[in-house]
Amino acid sequence: MGTLTKLSYGILLISITGCMLLTTPAYGKWVWNKETGWIEPPSEAVTTVEQQYKYALSLLVERKYINAIKEFKAIIKNNPASEFAEISQINIGRAYFLNGDYKRALKSYDEVLQKYPGTKRAQEVLERKFEVGVAQMEKDELAAIRIFEKIIEKHPLGPLAPDAQVKIADSYFQHGQYEEALDAYEKFLENYPKNEWVPYVQYRIPLTKVYHEKQQERNYGLLVSAREGFEEYLISNPHGVYAGDAERMIEEIRVIEAEREFNVGEFYLRVKKPLSAAMYFEFVIQDYPGTVWAEKAEERLEFLRMIEAIK
C-alpha cells in the first residue's frame, strides 16, 4: 500500500470515528418490557424528538435509569410544547420509582399535574403515585399513609379512593397502630359500603381488635367484640376467602374466654366459696364445650362433689 493510499485510509478512519462521537449512540436491537411491549430504538442517529423519546424509553427498559432521566429532561427542555413532553415527565417519575428513589418519583408525578393541569393522564399519574405508596408500605408505613391520604384528598370519589383508604388502614395495622387502623377500616365501611373490598375489611376489623387486645394485655371487651365481628363475617361470607381463618380465630378467642371464666371459678375456690365456683365451672362446660378448660372444669366439679362441697 503506497504512502498516499495509507494517508487516505487514515483520514477516512478519523472521519468515521468523528461522526460516531458526534452522534447519539444508536441501538439496533429490539427491547421488550411487559409495560411497554416491544420497542424498536432509533436505528439511525437521533435527530427528531420522536427518535429521542424512543431512545430514552429504550434506556428505561434496559434499566439505565439515570441516563433515561437525562434524556427525558432534555426532551422537556428542548420541546416543551411537544406531545412527548408530558409523557416524558411521567416517565421521569417512573424511572425514579424503578431506581428506588420514591421521594423524587412523587415530586416528578406532582410536577405532571402542576405543569399540565387538566391533563387526560391525571388518572394514570394517580395510579403511579398509588404504586409508590404501596412500595413505601414495605419501608415507611407513615410515609405511605401520607401518599394515600393525598390521593383521597385529590379525588375522594375517584376509583382509587377506596383502595387508598384500605391501604391507609393496612399501613396503620403494619405499624402496630391498631386503634388508628380500626378507625380507618370503619371509615372505609362508612364511605364505601358497596365496594368490593367490604368482605376484606369486615374480616380485618375483628382481626385488628385481636391484635389491639394483645397489645393491651387481656382487654376482654375487645376480644368479645372481635369474636362477634368474625361471626358476622361468616354470616355475610360463609364461603369467603377468610372463612377458614375467621373460624380459627373464633375458636382461639373461645379458648381465651373459657380460660377467663375458669379462672374466676378458681378464684372463688381460693376464697372458699364453692357454690360460686361451681357456677362458673358449669358455665365453662356449657358454653365452651370441647376446650381444655371445659375438661378442667369437669375435674373441679367432680372434686367438689367428692368432698361434698356441692351436690
Kindly state the average pLDDT of the residues 23-43.
Answer: 50
Top pLDDT among 290 and 9 is at 290
Output the pLDDT for position 32. 53
114 pLDDT exceeds 90? yes
Judge whether 147 lies within some domain.
no
Q: How far is CA 84 from the centre of its chain?
A: 31
Question: What is the residue-averaged pLDDT of the chain?
Answer: 87
What is the spatial distance between Cα 42 and Cα 257, in angstroms, rounded to a whole number?
A: 70
How large is the C-alpha radius of gyration of the chain? 33
pLDDT > 60? residue 174: yes
> What is the secondary structure of 189-232 as a DSSP string?
HHH-TTSTTHHHHHHHHHHHHHHHHHHHS--HHHHHHHHHHHHH
Q: How many domains does the chain have?
A: 1
Q: What is the pLDDT of residue 291?
A: 94
Range in 96-100, 154-158, 172-176 the model is least confident about: 154-158
Query: Cα–Cα distances in Å, from 63 out to 52, 102, 133?
Result: 17, 16, 21
pLDDT tens-digit series, residues 178-220 = 999 999 999 999 999 999 999 999 999 999 999 998 887 667 8
Amino acid identity at 204:
R
| Distances, alpha carbon 107 to alpha carbons 74, 102, 136, in Å | 18, 9, 15
125-165 pLDDT, tens digit per residue, is: 999 999 999 999 999 999 999 999 999 998 899 999 999 99
On whether the CB atoms of residues 80 and 106 are closer than 8 A, the answer is no
In a domain, 289, yes or no: yes
Q: Determine the average pLDDT of the residues in 50-68.
A: 95
Residue 21 pLDDT exceeds 50: no
CA distance 111 to 122: 11
**Looking at the domain assignment, is residue 161 inside a domain?**
no
- For 257-271, the pLDDT digits (tens) are 999 999 999 999 999
pLDDT of residue 148: 98
Task: Report residue 68 as a C-alpha cell.
Answer: 433515561
**Cα–Cα distances in Å, from 115 out to 4, 87, 97, 110, 161?**
60, 12, 20, 9, 23
Is 49 inside any structural domain?
A: no
What pLDDT sits at residue 40? 54
For residue 28, give the C-alpha cell. 439496533
Share of the chain above pLDDT 90, in %: 77
Lowest mean pLDDT among 59-68, 104-113, 126-135, 211-220: 211-220
| pLDDT at site 30 | 53
Predicted confidence (pLDDT) at residue 25 exceeds the cutoff of 60 = no
Residue 111: the pLDDT is 95
Name the one residue in this structure whose C-alpha cell is 417512573: 94
Question: Residue 262 in contact with residue 274, Cβ under 8 Å?
Answer: no
Section 20-47 average pLDDT: 50
Has residue 294 been placed in a domain?
Answer: yes
Q: Is residue 169 part of a domain?
A: no
Give the residue-averaged pLDDT of 66-91: 95
For the record, the C-alpha cell of 197 comes out as: 373490598
In a domain, 297, yes or no: yes
State the pLDDT at residue 28. Answer: 47
- What angle, rounded to 10 degrees, do the helices at 83-98 and 49-61 form? 10
- DSSP, collapsed to helix, strand or coil, labels residue 137 as coil
pLDDT at residue number 310: 87
| Amino acid identity for residue 186 in this structure | E
Whether 24 is in a domain gets the answer no
pLDDT in the model for residue 311 = 81
Contact assessment for residue 145 and residue 184, using Cβ atoms and an 8 Å cutoff: no
Q: What whole-number percentage of the chain has pLDDT above 70?
A: 85
Range(s) of the domain holding residue 280: 261-311
